Structure 1
Amino acid sequence: MRRSVMSGNSIVATSSSSSSSSSEAEGEGVYMNYVLFSALVAFALAQSIKVFTTWYREHRWDLKQLIGSGGMPSSHSATVTALAVAVGLQDGIGGSTFATALILATIVMYDATGVRLQAGRQAEVLNQIVYGLPAEHPLAESSPLRELLGHTPPQVIAGGLLGIMTSTIIYLISHSGNNT
């Protein structure tokens, strides 16, 4: 007979006939770090959704969106929000781990809409200037700068909501039946 046991921030599947210590049970059982899993799933979902939002907006499939930055929704925001919410659900919101995750999420989301968004807009202007240069200019043949670096506030909010939903759903699924 197999059962799931909550141990710290992990779910461990153990055998009821086992008399080994909890560290040995973790080595033998199926181990899942809920917090890490939530963040990774939120990232993968956000990156996958970008492929479909690009298709909807531009009527073309762009698989580069699976690894690219920028776009709808923000995968950075989804990841750090899922991380913070998962830590809060797992360990409570009163600890230093949650505080650290929340501050990290705030900084990443602020950076996405501030510094990175402005850097992308500057790259767009610089690319227009370079395109207007005469052919004999040394910079005329330079590669264009990446323009899609940051996120608009709606993209960050959508990523944040995706992160909240992802970690909450995974928490509810992984902790169902563990009310003992």
Structure 2
Amino acid sequence: MSFFEGLLNNDVFMVCFTAWFIAQLLKVVITFVFEKKIDISRFVGSGGMPSSHSSFVTSLATGVGIKKGYDSVEFALSLVLALIVMYDAAGVRRAVGKQAKILNKMIEDIHAHKKDIFTEKRLKELIGHTPVEVISGAILGIVIANIMI
């Protein structure tokens, strides 16, 4: 069996991919509903509702728990990974996004007074997640894993 055949036959991987895909698709749909525009870049972008990082890692942990048992070392490893990723998404990455917003405003103010001091493009502001986005992504991942496995 080739690498790709093995990956496509791996139930847990397919659950993770599906959870990620649905989360990213929901970002496009939610952007359309609230902003009345289709923004396909939301499908591959980070940040926003729901957290695809959270859905990805919680579907992994749930899938491993279902397949190997919630008392297994594999589940413990995947759960710890999930908790680290979700903490990072709502903590560090969110703080980076807030800092980018402030820096972009500072650069705009500087450009208003003196031109061409900075040549860098705007920093990406939508990087991390709010706690609600992280929890929503986590719930999505758990639900998808329970449906598919």
Instruction: Determine if the alignment matches structure 1 residue 102 to structure 2 residue 55.
Output: no
| Partner secondary structure for residue 146 of structure 1 | coil
RMSD, aligned α-carbons:
1.5
Q: Relative contact order (C-alpha < 8 Å, sep 6+): which is higher?
A: 2
Residue 45 of structure 1 aligns with which residue?
22
- Partners of 2:120 and 2:71 lie apart in 1 by 52
TM-score by length of 1: 0.76
Instruction: Determine if the alignment matches structure 1 residue 126 to structure 2 residue 103.
Output: yes
Residue 155 of structure 1 aligns with which residue?
133
**For 1:76-135, what per-residue CA distance to the aligned partner results, in whole angstroms no more than 9, with x for missing partners?**
000000000000000101111100000000000000010000000000000000001124
Gaps of 5+ in 1: 1-22, 24-30, 172-180
- Partners of 1:161 and 1:65 lie apart in 2 by 20
**For 1:137-163, what per-residue CA distance to the aligned partner results, in whole angstroms no more than 9, with x for missing partners?**
411x43100000000011001100100
Aligned residues: 142
Aligned identity (percent) is: 43
Higher strand share: 1
TM-score by length of 2: 0.91
Higher helix share: 2
- Partners of 2:120 and 2:64 lie apart in 1 by 45
Gaps of 5+ in 2: 2-7
Residue 138 of structure 1 aligns with which residue?
117
- Partners of 2:12 and 2:41 lie apart in 1 by 27
Match of 1:165 among 135, 143, 146: 143
